[in-house]
Structure 1
């Protein structure tokens, strides 16, 4: 049995969702969530100072803000996208469903009433949940919009961070912002980068596209109207999940043909990352020896992640889709409005090329990080792998502290850098995959929030101790008992 989710989405049951929201509100009340405020109010030069500024209001940013609220720490979240379009789900993602199993609880932070399943069943019922294979992508976005509302996350949309500057003498960080009202700046004691898969860089773009005008190619992460590919001969470089989704979207938009140019002689069959996803790794990866961390992440990188079964079938059902193995791109030559692509298996003529070549850490592509980029300690500064185990992605990954904080490459050259916390995909080598992907995002958010609570308390210890000394709310008033006379005086 299958369920027509498109028709379900047109006729939800608001009463069911309202009841769930009441249950969630009661759960939060019983847990004392958000916790009472305990952070000292700060100002600097007449400007208010935020406890925490989070950059990015996708699932990582939302989970981080909600976890901080449980610790009584207020966060303000800034996102460059319009409200409701945060993250990739409604913009650049093109899969029909999520790739993760539907049972994973994602950013729910241990609250049953906050899970996608609870949200879904409240509207469409348990039978619809049982018949669903994987979560439809746009429904996940709807769920995150609901999550933001019911958890009262303070998000400032249409706000891009254009600069970030530690102020060590003031023990805070200054953010420069571009907002609808013009350029602004804010101060925060700590900053969290919840900036996603490309959080410290951008698309990995192969050099051969430099031969083409920008109108003839796109990276799979670009926002693009695939309808313009109708009737065209399209090449897709790569065979990962995004490549399959891009190829399928082009075919569904009416592309005349789609040729997948696949460097490998075959597609990987097993997602090794799933085999690593056990609580021991989630909780223990940070404490592993360096060689073990590298070994795990490098093995997964080399094994490569296969595209999902459904995504691959979505492409192969079209007779105009062609899987070309052992077919790396050797050269690209423009030919008028078309192009010729040379490969070991021969030349292809395309009207448009999609490169699905992943992402890379590239500080140069993120000018907002100019003041800190050269000072961030990376794994190539920390660890030398065995010959044959070199891995550029891992070498470029930041060497993070226990609360996801950046460390200085040279001590004293960028004081205050450790007030910036990297809660996005490049944290994977240091902490494991707890800062971006659905399976362990709650674990990562709680690690971040509890670690920040500890840092703040230690930093403000003298004030908290003074508060302890000044605390004067009586527990007893002196009239709860009568002092006994000495035994000899008792009659």
Structure 2
């Protein structure tokens, strides 16, 4: 049976346009214009135009709010997919709908089948990483958010009635006039859609302190793996990013790659995947604090194993070596070009030319100077809830205690007015809301939740304005020609007569 001819993206885009028209998307804007000292206030600024920012922009426009997105990357390079990510395919199942926001013709599957047909979809195992980036570029094209690329946020300053953003951009066009490349933008609310490392950065172990930075890299760093050809490389860790770095180094011609794995066994079961049910997706925020902590801490302690394909990508190379039960004790830069690095472990000493540290991310405000004005004022989870086991989970300890609209809360009430105007729609929201603010499986659920709650917050904030609008509203539904006024007295008399008792009949007198 011949394969079907794909319909093409033009046809898909026509169908999508009809879907959006049927959904009345985008909804009409209803917020009042606001200014501060004569400068206009953007209703919402989203920092980050990756998949989280795009989904959130769609959801906000569905609620009649038109956000502005800022991203430091050039257009088409937002997020890690085409830059620092090195996996061959996504780790998520292809069937997950990601940022489609419930619109079938906005899904990756619809985009893929339009180009490669249903047969191509059936043959697809996992989504290639760069193809996912192509899909996100198309998503941006068809949803048309307002985005300013190559714009870095250098400072975030919350005030009682607005948030001030200091920006640096290539063109110097991102806000008020000023020195070339440096501008200021004001917003009523700011959302941090900044990804996995959204409130910090790489988790760097203490044993790497003082080691020459030219001899090692974090697995998330931009890096030219071609420079490793013919060199002996070490990788600390056994998670997804460790396998990605190891596999890329081997494919680029590294002489060898040794994976140094602290655990006696590589984790094999993805507990995070086992928790992915709608009840937790929608209900994590409503759980008691003890259960929120218990679930997230358990998943962290068990660790997420590397994907099957990512591990095989490494192990198929004869010059790849897996060392389990091999904890790091010390890393030393020798200054000897023949053996630049010595790595002492519980199983002995390794000589390497280069080392990758695949140790994940941690909320660490000191790595984000743009947050310096408010970082110390944010209430963190240890100020809300503590358990004896909490001390060994640096990731959870650094997560903020967020309010119902993902907003930061003050550690000391009243010390930082306007902090609530900042919202964390990134991975560190996981302890408050679960994994609905960055990862592919539930990104649409998180975007819908934040969009609706932010719409509610705007209405409360502008309540007097909307009350006046309500009272002044005068668009008539009727013009008076739709009926004829009755003559009420006449009608009342007619009804009275219709219901008057009939006069009694007189029978004939037959006695005569």
TM-score class, shorter-chain normalisation, is: over 0.9
Q: Which residue of 1 aligns with 2:491?
A: 487
Q: Secondary structure at the match of 1:340?
A: strand
d(CA) in 2 for partners of 1:193 and 1:278?
26
Shift of 1:334: 2.1
Deviations 1:119-177 (A, max 9, x none): 00001101011011110000000000111111111110000000111120xx1111110
d(CA) in 2 for partners of 1:388 and 1:40?
45
Q: Which residue of 2 aligns with 1:179?
A: 169
d(CA) in 1 for partners of 2:321 and 2:347?
13
Q: Which residue of 2 aligns with 1:327?
A: 326
Q: Do residues 362 (structure 1) and 364 (structure 2) align?
A: yes
d(CA) in 2 for partners of 1:249 and 1:289?
43
Q: 2:57 aligns with which of 65, 81, 86?
A: 65
Pairs within 5 Å for 1:298-309: 298-309=297-308
d(CA) in 1 for partners of 2:245 and 2:384?
37
Q: Secondary structure at the match of 1:146?
A: helix
d(CA) in 2 for partners of 1:48 and 1:19?
40
Shift of 1:474: 1.1
Q: Which is further off, 188-197 or 43-52?
A: 43-52
Q: Structure 1 residues 457, 388: CA separation in 2 closer, same or farther (over 3 Å shift)? A: closer
Q: Secondary structure at the match of 2:35?
A: strand
d(CA) in 1 for partners of 2:394 and 2:358?
18
Q: Which residue of 1 aligns with 2:276?
A: 277
Aligned residues: 477
Contact 2:362/2:394 (<8 A) preserved: no
Deviations 1:57-114 (A, max 9, x none): 1111111111000000010000000111100000000000000000000000000000
Contact 2:390/2:397 (<8 A) preserved: no
Q: 1:145 aligns with which of 133, 137, 140?
A: 137
Q: 2:151 aligns with which of 156, 159, 163?
A: 159
Moved over 4 A (4+): 387-390, 488-491
Shift of 1:489: 7.5
Q: Which is further off, 379-388 or 146-155?
A: 379-388
Q: TM-score, normalised by structure 2?
A: 0.91
d(CA) in 2 for partners of 1:349 and 1:250?
17
Q: Secondary structure at the match of 1:61?
A: helix
Shift of 1:333: 2.0
Q: 2:441 aligns with which of 436, 439, 448?
A: 439
Q: Which residue of 2 aligns with 1:257?
A: 256
Deviations 1:410-436 (A, max 9, x none): 000001100000000000000000001
Q: Which is further off, 113-122 or 387-396?
A: 387-396
Contact 2:43/2:188 (<8 A) preserved: yes
Unaligned runs of 5+ in 1: 1-11
Q: Which residue of 2 aligns with 1:4?
A: none
Q: Secondary structure at the match of 2:284?
A: helix
Q: Secondary structure at the match of 1:192?
A: strand
Contact 1:203/1:360 (<8 A) preserved: yes
Shift of 1:201: 0.5
d(CA) in 2 for partners of 1:389 and 1:463?
48
Shift of 1:42: 1.2
Contact 1:298/1:389 (<8 A) preserved: no
d(CA) in 1 for partners of 2:33 and 2:357?
49
Q: Which residue of 1 aligns with 2:289?
A: 290
Shift of 1:390: 4.4
Contact 1:211/1:332 (<8 A) preserved: no
d(CA) in 1 for partners of 2:267 and 2:90?
19
Q: Which residue of 1 aligns with 2:341?
A: 339
Q: Which residue of 1 aligns with 2:469?
A: 467
Q: Which residue of 2 aligns with 1:7?
A: none
Q: 2:478 aligns with which of 473, 476, 479?
A: 476
Q: Which is further off, 252-261 or 345-354?
A: 345-354
Q: Structure 1 residues 388, 432: CA separation in 2 closer, same or farther (over 3 Å shift)? A: closer
d(CA) in 2 for partners of 1:39 and 1:463?
9
Pairs within 5 Å for 1:54-453: 54-168=46-160, 171-180=161-170, 181=172, 182-335=181-334, 336-337=336-337, 338-387=340-389, 390-453=392-455
Q: Secondary structure at the match of 1:274?
A: helix
Shift of 1:386: 3.6
d(CA) in 1 for partners of 2:389 and 2:206?
27
Deviations 1:391-424 (A, max 9, x none): 2211111000111000000000001100000000
Q: Structure 1 residues 287, 40: CA separation in 2 closer, same or farther (over 3 Å shift)? A: same
Unaligned runs of 5+ in 2: 173-180, 498-512
d(CA) in 1 for partners of 2:493 and 2:414?
73
d(CA) in 2 for partners of 1:237 and 1:89?
22
Q: Which residue of 2 aligns with 1:8?
A: none
d(CA) in 1 for partners of 2:190 and 2:388?
35
